[in-house]
């Protein structure tokens, strides 16, 4: 039997197994889920062994564990592929907006609905099932496989990045493979060749040392929430252009040929508005929505709080105000440098009557990978054969900082072989994974590995 036939005849088994994985609430950002994180790591290790990997282990770190596995049976002449993914998920909040429980995976039409279904457990699982297809048929994959799955991706990979630099020998490979991005549609396969970076910080503004009556003190004491809002308003103009001095200095400009290529990405404006649930698009003039969401930097307030937020009215002049601010960066912006620029600017514009502190929460580099490598050509052919249409190249606006880490620490390029769909609702209520793509993903990966072996990458 060919591995593709095995993959095509075991759909139900694969789906049931994926559901087991999705039932574990491996939320990396919440300390109370530490045991679930451990459970997910162990589950994954066991699933790797079941899929045929000769070695699989849970490696503790100072943060959440890393799952490492290898199956090096294709011989030293065959290429080695390093597969990366993450088994941690975002919190499911707000819970009341889910139509089915986030950790009880439910089939709704063609979709499997659960937190982590698309980002990234479902996409990680694709690789395990592709490996299993070889185990059950030819006996072993056509290339050497190493897997490295982390539990900290959604919190900025604090232990993972140092691990990669410290274990460059263990992770040595010819190419990295990551399924944690999108394709445009079942009939519109696409390959992502660039991702944005991220700088994330928290601002605290302190005013009076205790909450004050706003009638007694209002007018003579600067309200830290008002101050914070004025400061935030100075970070960006009305069109979304960032006004922090130096912010755009390192931004790699879009070359005309790349703009021409991005213009070919099919884009239905009305459908996009509907999917985003907004009445109009917004942003930097002179750039298309596709460019603004993938090749231009951004600044967003992710959360803002302070004072009275319960029902009803309370006349209070609060002592503190907070905001979480993130910036999506493009190559060659350096997250550390950007954080420094923002901090300096905020401290400079801070009104003297309040105290401003800026805390660096985390960050990661953006990345661009080559579109003309032999591995990229294999990926191209694998999508074309599986979906019956040639994929187009595109950039995405999310961040997978490990792509840059692999370039720097291991000197290898990454193939972003994503199987999400644009409406998967990553990080939102009712996240889902399109089940037919789950199955097609397994076939694409099987073809990709075979193609790599034939190309001798």
Interface residue list for ligand BES (CB under 6 A): 119-120, 153-154, 156, 180-182, 195, 198, 364, 396, 398-401, 426
Site for Zn ion contains 119 (CB under 5 A) = yes
Segment contacting Zn ion (CB under 5 A): 67-75, 119-127, 196-204, 415-423? 119-127
Binder of residue 444, out of Zn ion, ligand BES, none (CB less than 5 to 8 A by kind): none
User: Closest CB to ligand BES among 153 and 174?
Assistant: 153
Main-chain phi, psi angles of 75, to 5 degrees:
90, 160
Shortest Å, Cβ 134 to Zn ion:
28
Tell me the residue nearest to Zn ion as measured from the CB.
119
Binder of residue 401, out of ligand BES, Zn ion, none (CB less than 5 to 8 A by kind): ligand BES
User: Closest CB to ligand BES among 17 and 119?
Assistant: 119
User: Tokens at residue 367, please?
Assistant: 């990345």
The strand pair at 392-395 and 190-195 is best described as: parallel
User: Closest CB to Zn ion among 87 and 448?
Assistant: 87
User: Closest CB to Zn ion among 320 and 396?
Assistant: 396
Q: Which helix (H) or strand (E) holds 195?
A: strand 190-195
Shortest Å, Cβ 196 to ligand BES:
8
Collect all residues with Cβ–Cβ distance below 8 Å to 346 and sequence separation of at least 6.
203, 231, 356, 358
d(CA 159, CA 217): 47
Pick from 413, 418, 416: nearest CA to 387: 418
User: Closest CB to ligand BES among 174 and 180?
Assistant: 180
Pick from 320, 292, 287, 288: nearest CA to 305: 320
Main-chain phi, psi angles of 453, to 5 degrees:
-60, -45
Shortest Å, Cβ 365 to ligand BES:
10
Q: How many CB atoms lie within 10 A of CB 225?
A: 20
Q: Which helix (H) or strand (E) holds 19?
A: helix 11-22
Contacting Zn ion within 386-445 (CB under 5 A): none
Shortest Å, Cβ 298 to Zn ion:
17
Binder of residue 156, out of ligand BES, Zn ion, none (CB less than 5 to 8 A by kind): ligand BES
Number of H helices, E strands in the chain: 14, 18
Binder of residue 400, out of Zn ion, ligand BES, none (CB less than 5 to 8 A by kind): ligand BES
d(CA 255, CA 332): 14
User: Closest CB to ligand BES among 420 and 451?
Assistant: 420
User: Closest CB to ligand BES among 242 and 426?
Assistant: 426
Binder of residue 79, out of ligand BES, Zn ion, none (CB less than 5 to 8 A by kind): none
Pick from 389, 238, 223: nearest CA to 315: 223
Tell me the residue nearest to ligand BES as measured from the CB.
398
User: Closest CB to ligand BES among 306 and 401?
Assistant: 401
* Contact status, residue 206 vs residue 420, Cβ threshold 8 Å: no
Binder of residue 446, out of Zn ion, ligand BES, none (CB less than 5 to 8 A by kind): none
Binder of residue 41, out of Zn ion, ligand BES, none (CB less than 5 to 8 A by kind): none
* Contact status, residue 152 vs residue 64, Cβ threshold 8 Å: yes
Question: Do you find a cis peptide bond into 268, omega within 30 degrees of 0?
Answer: no
Q: C-alpha angle 162/168/169, rounded to 5°?
A: 145
Binder of residue 405, out of Zn ion, ligand BES, none (CB less than 5 to 8 A by kind): none
Q: Write out the residues near Zn ion by the rule CB under 5 A.
A: 119
């Amino acid at each position: 039997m060919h591995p593709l036939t095995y993959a095509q005849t075991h759909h139900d088994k694969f789906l049931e197994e994926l559901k087991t994985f999705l039932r574990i609430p491996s939320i990396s950002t919440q300390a109370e889920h530490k045991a679930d994180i451990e459970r997910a790591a162990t589950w994954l290790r066991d699933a790797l062994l079941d899929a045929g990997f000769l070695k699989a282990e849970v490696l503790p770190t100072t943060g959440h564990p890393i799952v490492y596995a290898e199956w090096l049976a294709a011989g030293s002449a065959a290429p080695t592929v390093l597969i990366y993914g993450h088994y941690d998920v975002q919190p499911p909040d707000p819970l009341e907006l889910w139509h089915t429980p986030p950790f009880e995976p439910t089939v709704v039409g063609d979709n499997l609905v659960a937190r982590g279904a698309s980002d990234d457990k479902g996409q990680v699982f694709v690789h395990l099932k592709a490996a299993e297809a070889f185990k059950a048929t030819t006996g072993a994959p056509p290339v050497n496989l190493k897997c490295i799955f982390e539990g900290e991706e959604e919190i900025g990979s604090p232990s993972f990045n140092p691990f990669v630099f410290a274990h460059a020998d263990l992770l040595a490979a010819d190419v990295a493979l990551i399924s944690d991005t999108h394709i445009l549609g079942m009939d519109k396969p696409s390959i992502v060749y660039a991702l944005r970076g991220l700088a994330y910080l928290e601002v605290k503004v302190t005013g009076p040392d205790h909450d004050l009556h706003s009638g007694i003190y209002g007018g003579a004491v600067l309200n830290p929430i008002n101050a914070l809002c004025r400061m935030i308003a100075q970070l960006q103009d009305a069109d979304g252009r960032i006004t922090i001095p130096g912010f755009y200095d390192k931004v790699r400009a879009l070359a005309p040929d790349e703009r021409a290529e991005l213009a070919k990405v099919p884009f239905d404006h009305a459908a996009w508005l509907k999917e985003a649930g907004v009445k109009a698009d917004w942003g930097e003039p002179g750039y298309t929505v596709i460019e603004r969401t993938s090749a231009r930097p951004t600044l967003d307030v992710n959360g803002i709080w302070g004072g009275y937020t319960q029902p009803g009215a309370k006349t209070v002049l609060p002592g503190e105000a907070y905001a979480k601010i993130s910036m999506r960066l493009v190559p060659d912006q350096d997250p550390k440098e950007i954080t420094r620029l923002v901090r300096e600017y905020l401290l400079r514009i801070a009104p003297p009557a309040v105290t401003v502190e800026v805390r660096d929460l985390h960050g990661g580099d953006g990345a661009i990978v080559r579109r003309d490598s032999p591995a990229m050509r294999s990926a191209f052919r694998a999508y074309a054969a599986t979906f019956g249409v040639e994929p187009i190249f595109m950039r995405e606006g999310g961040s997978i900082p490990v792509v840059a880490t692999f370039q720097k620490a291991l000197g290898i390029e990454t193939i972003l072989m994503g199987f999400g769909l644009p409406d998967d609702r990553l990080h939102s209520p009712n996240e889902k994974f399109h089940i037919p793509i789950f199955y097609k993903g397994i076939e694409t990966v099987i073809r990709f590995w075979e193609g790599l072996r034939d190309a001798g990458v």
